[in-house]
Structure formats: structure tokens, C-alpha cells
Chain A
Amino acid sequence: MAIQLLNGVVYGGLLYLLAVGLVLIFGLREVVNFAHGALFMLGSYVGYTLAASGQWWLGLLVSVVFMAAVGCVLDALVFRSLRKHDHIVTVLITFGLLLILETVVTVTWGKAYLSYPVPKLLAGTVEIAGSPFPIYRLFIIAVSLLVAAGLAAWLRFTRMGLYVRAASTNAHVTSIQGIDVDRLSLVVVGLGTALAGLSGVVAGPLLTLSPTMGNYILIDSFIVVVIGGLGSFGGAFIAALLIGQIHNLGAIYLPWAATMLPFLLMIGILIWRPTGFAGSRT
């Protein structure tokens, strides 16, 4: 049981890394980014290119930096102008981005499924509660916790974190105080996209690489964002851990209903609390 719970934490950690990027981008830009799963996928492929030649850690670094740059470009060229449009336009544009990114990856890396190597440092298992458990999965948990703690500290204790929290609630009032919210968004969207790259690389060895690999996890990430509360970082963390457990335990104990369970939970929570765990927006 302890192993199953840990596996749930692993999936929850991955969901958090992806969902928190969605939260960051939605908070400042009010953009529901359907391309986020494709960014996760692109980050994974970028990291894979170096990891396949034995440079796993360099691949991680390059992917994060590259995806941060992609995020900055997307914010400046796409998300900034989407702010003035209806949500349906946002959905269509970001869905179009998803298709473009999938095509770019297909043309560059091909359609074939690829196996992502585990770094040598993190290969092998440790014994937990009498069962072997992959060290790499513990690494995923550690990365997720580090990112969660780092983000929480950045948002809580730094000036920029204060501005991000303020702008996520009311961008207009925040900018009236003299803060250039567009410049702030550039940093935040860059960070959110970098986290998609990070989660893509970290998730790589657990998944099979394919141009559509981001679609399934994106749906779970959206559920995390909605359950946690739109724009809430803490809510996303709790929701990610919850969905991770439901996903994992559901697959073992209720396999016939496993894919439905996150949706059922989301419906139940939205009936009980339309703003999610910690959100202020419906």
C-alpha cells in the first residue's frame, strides 16, 4: 500500500509541475492554454535529444532554458494580444498552437515512439516497506516538492512574488500602482513554460515519447487547476496530490472507473464549492 501511495505522489508531483504552469499563465493572462500539454511534450523531446546521447542533466537544463525562451516569445506574440479577446478565441488559438507544435515535433523527431533513458545517477531501486521502489520516482517527488517550496517562497517573500499574486487577482489595479504587468507576465509565462519543459523531461523516463504524449496529462492538469481553484497555487498543489492518488488507486481498485474518477471528483467539488479548493473565480 505504501508503494501505491508513493506512486500516487509521483503522478501527483508531475501533475503539479504541469498544472502550476497553467495556474501561472491563467493568473496573469487569463489564458486557458490548451497548448500547455504540447509544450510539455516539446520540452520532453528537447531534453531527449541530449539525454539519448548520455547527457541527461544537460538535456534537463537545455530544455528548461529553451522552454522558458519559448514561453517569453509566446507571451509577447500571442498571449498578450489574446487578453483583449473572448475566451473562445483563446481556446481556438491555443488549440491551433497545440497542432502546430505537434506537427513541428513530428517533422523534427518523427512519429515513432521513443524511450527516454533514466540518468545513471538515479538508476536502480531502494527498498521501501519491504518492496523495491525506483530511485528515479523518489527524484520526481523531490523535484516536485522543491518546485512547490521554491514557488511558495518566491510568491510569499519576494517583491516580484507579491506583484504576481496581486496581478493574478487584479491586473488593472496592480498596474495602476506603477507595475508593468506585461513585463511581469513575460517572466511568469516564461517560468510557467519552463516548468512545462521541466515536467516533460522529468516525466520522460516514465512515459513513452510521442507527439501526442501531452494530451492525456493535460486533461488531468486542467482538472487539477479547476479543483484547486483558478489561479490558486496552493490549491493546485493539494489537488494534484489528490488526483495523483485517485488516478493511481483507481487504476488498482476500480479499473473499470479509473478514467472517470477525476471527472467525477471535479463535478462533485464544483457542486460543493464552485471556486474549487482555494480559488476566488468560478
Chain B
Amino acid sequence: MSLLSFHDVHALYGQARILNGLSFDIGAGERVALVGRNGVGKTTVVNTLCGVTRIERGHVAIRGKAMRDLQRYTAAQNGISVVLQGRGIITNLTVEENLLLGAATGRRGPWSLASVKELFPILEERKASLGLALSGGQQQMLAIGRALMANPDLLILDEPSEGLAPVIVDELAELLVRLGNDGMGILLIEQSVGLIRRVAERFYVLSKGAVAASGPLADIGAEEFQQHIAI
């Protein structure tokens, strides 16, 4: 059974239709990339899942169950954590308070304040600092750590490499592969081909709000993949 699936979703942002019959699915423990140029609707996928964008037709299903009334909190309460583009750190809360916010759903699992800090020791060192005082890389760690605090079955990351140094992107890739190997599903919404190829097993290319191409990453060469993104 799919953990998350979009079925022929047409979604509107205001009066503008951004998604035009988008269908894709992610199974438990899969590492999937959603790619495409700017403006093709990648972030709208997150916004639709979080009830920000209105669904005109089609539906979103979580574990096979069609979600009729998607609210911003629906995904998290159903085991899907989102790391937003720009990270979404609450700037006037401390690092530790930001992490505790991630545990709001009360889902039990391997991730706790202690295990997240063990994964990212810098968050322990800077636990009393305000979110706005962190560097870009540290904010990304905090955003991922906060998402893990919800003990999700699926982790969605929207442009996580944006603004990060290459060495941090390498660490991010290793982490996401490790989380995937531990059974967590990963949906990577990304433009960095290097990060996608290191993390994802399958890909969907979005164009004009629908899937233009898809398949396993192992079956496709870097150049051909790059061409897909440049559609």
C-alpha cells in the first residue's frame, strides 16, 4: 500500500491552476525524488498536502485512505513530516523549543530530543540559542531534527540543499540515505542533480503541474536525467 499518493490532482492557488492531473505515489521506506524546473508545481505538492492549495479535482491519499479535508496539520498527524523550503525555523524560539515543537503529534518511535541531538551534536551545543542565530546549515539540521521528532513514516524535504555549502549537502545526502535504510520514506523535492542521484531510488519529473516522466534512477544516465529536468 502506498504511504502517500496523489490521484489526478488538479489544484488551484487563488484562481491559477498549478497542478493539472498530478498522480504519483510513494511506498513505505522508498526514497523518491520529485524534480522539475522552477514554477512547475513542486512546492505546490507540499502546499496541497498541507491544505494551503485548494484541490479542484482528484484526491490525496495517505496509506490508501483518501483525505477529504486536508488541513495544515493533517500530514504531520498522519506520520508525514515536512521540511519546508526556507526551513521554517521559528526564529524567536530556542533551538530546543523548535525541536520540542516537532514532537507535538506525540507519535512514538526512535526519535527523541536525545537521539536528535546525538545525530546533530551542534543542536545540543546551541540548544539555548534562538533559531535566527543559526547558520544556514545549522538551520537545516534543526529543520530536519524537528521533523524527525515527529517520528514520521515519510519525510518530505522541499529544496533542502538550497543555500548550503557542498560539504553540508554531502552530509545531508548521507543522512537521508541512512534514514531511508532505517525504513523511513523520503520524498526529495530538489533541483540538485547530485543530491537526487545520491539519495533517490525513483524519480518523477514534473512539468506544467503533471508528471512528464518517471522511473528508477538506476536506469537513467546523468545527462538524460538532466535533460528531463530541463524539459
Q: CB-CB < 8 A to A175: which residues of B?
A: 50, 71-73
Q: Given the known A-B contacts A176-B76, A178-B150, A179-B104, are A280 and B92 also in contact in the complex, defined by CB atoms under 8 Å?
A: yes
| Prevailing SS type, chain B contact patch | loop
How would residues 75 to 103 of chain B score, 1 for a CB under 8 Å from any chain A CB and 0 otherwise? 11100001010001111110001001110
- Write the nearest CB–CB distance from B198 to chain A, whole angstroms: 26
Chain B contributes a number of interface residues (CB within 8 A of A) equal to: 24
| Prevailing SS type, chain A contact patch | helix
Q: Which of B41-71 contact A (CB under 8 A)?
A: 50, 52, 71
Docked pose: A176 CA to B72 CA in angstroms:
5
Docked pose: A219 CA to B91 CA in angstroms:
30
Q: Which of A136-182 contact B (CB under 8 A)?
A: 159, 162-163, 165-166, 169-170, 172-181
Docked pose: A165 CA to B100 CA in angstroms:
13
- Whether B93 contacts A176 by the Cβ 8 Å rule is no
| Of listed B71, B82, B102, B104, residue having the most chain A CB within 10 A | B104
**Total A-B pairs, Cβ < 8 A:** 66
- Whether B91 contacts A169 by the Cβ 8 Å rule is yes
Docked pose: A162 CA to B149 CA in angstroms:
15
Asked whether any CB of chain A lies closer than 8 Å to the CB of B23, the reply is: no
Chain A contributes a number of interface residues (CB within 8 A of B) equal to: 18
Q: Which of B141-193 contact A (CB under 8 A)?
A: 146, 150
| Of listed B73, B82, B102, residue having the most chain A CB within 10 A | B73
- Write the nearest CB–CB distance from A163 to chain B, whole angstroms: 7
Q: Which residue of A lies closest to B76 (CB)?
A: A178
Q: CB-CB < 8 A to A280: which residues of B?
A: 91-92
How would residues 100 to 119 of chain B score, 1 for a CB under 8 Å from any chain A CB and 0 otherwise? 11101100000000000000
Q: Which residue of A lies closest to B79 (CB)?
A: A178
- Whether A162 contacts B101 by the Cβ 8 Å rule is yes
- Whether A179 contacts B73 by the Cβ 8 Å rule is yes
How would residues 243 to 282 of chain A score, 1 for a CB under 8 Å from any chain B CB and 0 otherwise? 0000000000000000000000000000000000000100
Docked pose: A43 CA to B104 CA in angstroms:
34
| Cβ-defined partner of A166 (8 Å) among B75, B101, B105 | B101
- Write the nearest CB–CB distance from B33 to chain A, whole angstroms: 21
Docked pose: A170 CA to B131 CA in angstroms:
13
- Whether B82 contacts A176 by the Cβ 8 Å rule is yes
Q: CB-CB < 8 A to B92: which residues of A?
A: 165, 169, 280
Docked pose: A159 CA to B90 CA in angstroms:
15
| Cβ-defined partner of B101 (8 Å) among A172, A174, A180, A181 | A174
Q: CB-CB < 8 A to B90: which residues of A?
A: 166, 169-170, 173-174
- Whether A169 contacts B72 by the Cβ 8 Å rule is no
- Write the nearest CB–CB distance from B207 to chain A, whole angstroms: 27
Residues of B within 8 A of A (CB): 50, 52, 71-73, 75-77, 82, 84, 88-93, 97, 100-102, 104-105, 146, 150
Residues of A within 8 A of B (CB): 159, 162-163, 165-166, 169-170, 172-181, 280
Task: Give 30 A-B contacts (CB < 8 Å), ordered by A residue.
Answer: A162-B97, A162-B100, A163-B101, A163-B104, A165-B97, A166-B90, A166-B101, A169-B92, A174-B90, A174-B101, A175-B50, A175-B71, A175-B73, A176-B50, A176-B72, A176-B73, A176-B75, A176-B88, A177-B73, A177-B101, A177-B104, A177-B150, A178-B73, A178-B105, A179-B73, A179-B101, A179-B104, A181-B72, A181-B73, A280-B91
